[in-house]
Amino acid sequence: MNQAANMATKGEPSQPQAVRFDLEKVRSDFPTLNQKVSGHDLVYLDNGASTQKPQQVIDTIKAYYENDNSNVHRGIHTLSQRATDKFEAARVTVQSFINAESDAQIIFTNGTTESINLVAHSYARAFLQAGDEIIISTMEHHSNIVPWQLLEQQIGIKLVVAPIDKNGNFLLDEYTKLLSEKTKFVSITQLSNALGTITPIKAIIEAAHNVGAKVMVDGAQAIAHTEVDVQALDCDFYAFSGHKIFSPTGIGVLYGKRELLDAMPPYQSGGDMIKVVSFSGTTFNELPHKFEAGTPNIAGVIGLAAGLDYVSDIGIANIAAYEKELLDYGTHRLSEIEGLSMIGSADNKASILSFQINGVHASDLGTLLDHQGIAIRVGHHCAMPVMEFFGVDATARASLAFYNSKEDIDALVAAINKAVMMLK
Ligand code: PMP
């Protein structure tokens, strides 16, 4: 067992971190991590874009296609019933993972982007009108900006942007000043993909509720790094994607408060979301099916449940504690590199090391790191407004998961030093 694995398993007396999992075992669960890229052991540090999948998720999907493959909800035959049972059991797994009141409040979408669009098109179009204000923040992902901008053009709502400071902290006081009786909706990330900032989401929600506004939380990044309890948060909507939490692509979740989901009109229409269809009129299905038109991503849903079970077995608190230690280590090691500046050093941060190096373009750096087997992301991270705020067009971003180790960070630092020597 290597040093990092040893630490992750046992902890060291001098570092009282609450890490209680076997890192080596965890790493061996992820087949993609065990490969060479450009002749080097792969170091995967692009988890903010998408995470790798454990064998348990891959096996679950394979077993579904090998044994149970069929359409859900409509079939009388055995395979369809098995598929339906697994599909609906997965909904309960999601419900319990985020502590939703009921599984009827778990809507399957194809990802965070679709979850946000669902709320923009169904809730906001039905319940907001011209002049109403929607607050987002400077550090939102494009998928939590553009749907609201379209509503600005289409129904005349006004988009208001809550500021951050130069370290990437969400400015709660400034945000509170923006709230008024005109504020009808707030949509804010719980963890910024570009900066790693953890926002004070509970306080954001509480302040919005004080003026009667509803709140959507973009949990795309947070879901894999922090405990999420939608009832404790008291959010009105919560969105996340499976592929950011060790589960398949093409599957996501929208949680909503029951009375809101009940009142909302359907988003897409077709099969499964109806009760009775006739040419004189159609009635819609109960929750959650009202929002799930057409054949769903059955394997994706079942795979998502396997991914969430995997995370639950390790424990999100263990994951968060270990990643905090890795983040601190990475922040320290990167700070030793000459000319490197961190973009985003919020007081409360997770999983993201976003940086720039004087005289080195991020995309050149990313290419040279790939030649050394190190996968990071370079660019604007679908968050161009926050790049503009920091006066940069791109950053290099290493984003961590619990299968990363201190050795991965050491490899990153060594590879950066080598790349910088070549580029300067
Ligand atoms: N919000 C945030 C904060 C994200 O990081 C992402 C994905 N990078 C999204 C939304 C969109 O997620 P998806 O592409 O899975 O729909």
For ligand 1, mutation pick of 117, 192, 221, 226 (most atoms within 8 Å of CB): 221
Domain boundary among 252, 282, 312: 312
**Residue 72's domain is classified under what CATH number?**
3.40.640.10
Q: Are residues 226 and 86 in the same domain?
A: yes
Q: Are residues 147 and 159 in the same domain?
A: yes
CA dist 112 and 105 (Å) reads 16
pLDDT at 312: 98
Asked whether residue 117 carries a pLDDT value surpassing 50, the answer given is: yes
Question: pLDDT digit string (tens) for 32-49?
Answer: 999 999 999 999 999 999
Lowest mean per-residue pLDDT among 74-78, 105-109, 142-146 = 74-78
Query: Is residue 19 exposed (0-12), middle (13-18) or buried (19+ Cβ within 10 Å)?
Result: buried
- Taken in order 59, 64, 67, 69, is the CA torsion positive or negative? negative
Number of domains, the chain: 2
Q: Are residues 205 and 349 in the same domain?
A: no
CB-based burial, 233-259: b 16+ in 10 Å, e otherwise? bebbbbbbbbbbbbbbbbbbbbbbbee
Q: Are residues 267 and 147 in the same domain?
A: yes
pLDDT at 75: 81
Task: Determine the structural domain holding residue 389 and report its residue range.
Answer: 3-53+315-423
Q: Are residues 35 and 99 in the same domain?
A: no
Find, among 84, 45, 57, 34, the residue nearest to 377 by Cα: 45
Name which residue sits closest to atom 8 of ligand 1, judged by CA.
49
Q: Are residues 134 and 168 in the same domain?
A: yes
List ligand 1's pocket residues with C-beta within 6 A.
111-113, 141, 143-144, 189, 193, 218, 220-221, 241, 382
Q: Are residues 257 and 125 in the same domain?
A: yes
Q: Are residues 231 and 349 in the same domain?
A: no
**Rg (alpha carbons) of the chain, rounded to whole number:** 22
**Ligand 1 geometric centre to CA of 219 (Å):** 8
**Ligand 1 geometric centre to CA of 113 (Å):** 6
Q: Are residues 227 and 356 in the same domain?
A: no
The residue length of the chain stands at 424
Q: How far is CA 333 from CA 181, 242, 342, 385, in A?
A: 47, 31, 12, 28
235 counts as catalytic: no
Q: Are residues 105 and 250 in the same domain?
A: yes
Question: How many CA atoms within 13 Å lie on the side-chain side of 276?
Answer: 4
**Ligand 1 geometric centre to CA of 143 (Å):** 7
**115, two tokens:** 């979850």
* Rounded average pLDDT over 126-151: 98
Asked whether residue 2 carries a pLDDT value surpassing 90, the answer given is: no
Q: Are residues 301 and 162 in the same domain?
A: yes
pLDDT band at 19 (very low <50, low <70, confident <90, very high): low
Asked whether residue 13 carries a pLDDT value surpassing 90, the answer given is: no
3-state secondary structure the chain: CCHHHHHHHHCECCECCCCCCCHHHHHHCCHHHCCEECCEECEECECCCCCCCCHHHHHHHHHHHHHHCCCCCCCCCHHHHHHHHHHHHHHHHHHHHCCCCCHHHEEEECCHHHHHHHHHHHHHHHHCCCCCEEEEECCCCHHHCHHHHHHHHHHCCEEEEECECCCCCECHHHHHHHCCCCEEEEEEECECCCCCEECCHHHHHHHHHHCCCEEEEECCCHHHCCCCCHHHHCCCEEEEEHHHHCCCCCCEEEEECHHHHHHCCCCCCCCCCEEEEECCEEEECCCCHHHCCCCCCHHHHHHHHHHHHHHHHHCHHHHHHHHHHHHHHHHHHHHCCCCEEECCCCCCECCEEEEEECCECHHHHHHHHHCCCEECEEECCCCHHHHHHCCCCCEEEEECCCCCCHHHHHHHHHHHHHHHHHHC
**Residue 348's domain is classified under what CATH number?**
3.90.1150.10
More confident residue, 272 or 374: 374
> Active-site residue among 382, 384, 392, 413?
382
pLDDT at 7: 43
**Ligand 1 geometric centre to CA of 201 (Å):** 17
Find, among 229, 208, 212, 217, the residue nearest to 187 by Cα: 217
Domain boundary among 312, 338, 365: 312
For ligand 1, mutation pick of 50, 139, 140, 143 (most atoms within 8 Å of CB): 143
Answer yes or no: are the C-beta atoms of 80 and 292 closer than 8 Å: no
Q: Are residues 277 and 343 in the same domain?
A: no
Asked whether residue 71 carries a pLDDT value surpassing 60, the answer given is: yes
- Kind of pairing between the strands at 214-218 and 237-241: parallel
Domain boundary among 283, 312, 341: 312
pLDDT band at 14 (very low <50, low <70, confident <90, very high): very low
